[in-house]
Amino acid sequence: DADVTQTPRNRITKTGKRIMLECSQTKGHDRMYWYRQDPGLGLRLIYYSFDVKDINKGEISDGYSVSRQAQAKFSLSLESAIPNQTALYFCATSERDTEAFFGQGTRLTVV
Amino acid sequence: QKEVEQNSGPLSVPEGAIASLNCTYSDRVSQSFFWYRQYSGKSPELIMSIYSNGDKEDGRFTAQLNKASQYVSLLIRDSQPSDSATYLCAVNGGTSYGKLTFGQGTILTVHP
């Protein structure tokens, strides 16, 4: 089993719908991240969390919200999906300032 | 100014050559530096991490860090077609403590 698991792996949703992307990890790391990837733009940080009570906005948090339900779980929500949120989304975890470990990614399409 | 900048490429090198990938960062007190490789549609995977000035070698890969110039690079020796991928530079620590920031990636193509 993967150390960082994202669900769903693929999702097609309609404009205006609420959608949640889930991430769970078995590495025991405190830090968790959500990134969005668009062609030519690398990975852009949406939100990051140091622990259950510490959640921070990244560079592109507008239109997104997150919930850290437990040390191992970090969910990303799109309250009202729009087409320009179509992208590949990655969850990642790390221990302090060391390397990040990534989930398999969620390909989201908003039509 | 972007926090982490890379040459977007694409960079094309012949098989067996040295590929040189460059990255600059804006936060002078950044502490941790990483190079990831990403194949199309897949997750990024760590190639190298470097935390102090100088060179760090691992097999065909060498990471170079110069904190005074705020510059980190990755050299790939004896490039292989299987090295064709997008390479992502990432920076952690500094004034934005704990925030892992990525550059836009450099697409590398190694042709036979």
Q: According to the model, what pLDDT value does residue B43 have?
A: 96
Q: According to the model, what pLDDT value does residue A95 have?
A: 86
**pLDDT tens-digit readout, B63-79:** 999 999 999 999 999 99
Amino acid letter, residue B3: E
Q: According to the model, what pLDDT value does residue A1 have?
A: 62
Interface residues on A facing B, Cβ-Cβ cutoff 8 A: 31, 33, 35, 40-45, 48, 50, 56, 58, 88, 90, 92, 94, 96-100, 102-105, 107
Q: According to the model, what pLDDT value does residue B29 have?
A: 84
Nearest Cα residue in chain A from B97: A97
- pLDDT tens-place values along chain A, 111 residues long: 679 999 999 999 999 999 999 999 999 999 999 999 998 788 999 999 998 999 999 999 999 999 999 999 999 999 999 999 999 999 999 987 788 999 999 999 999
**3-state SS record for chain B:** CCCEEECCCCEEEECCCCEEEEEEECCCCCCEEEEEEECCCCCCEEEEEECCCEEEEECCEEEEEECCCCEEEEEECCCCHHHCEEEEEEEECCCCCCCCEECCCEEEEEEC
Q: According to the model, what pLDDT value does residue B54 have?
A: 95
- Two structure tokens written together for B22: 């460059």
**pLDDT tens-digit readout, A84-99:** 999 999 999 998 778 8
Which 57-86 residues of chain B touch chain A by CB within 8 A? none
In this prediction, the residues of chain B whose per-residue pLDDT falls under 50 are: none
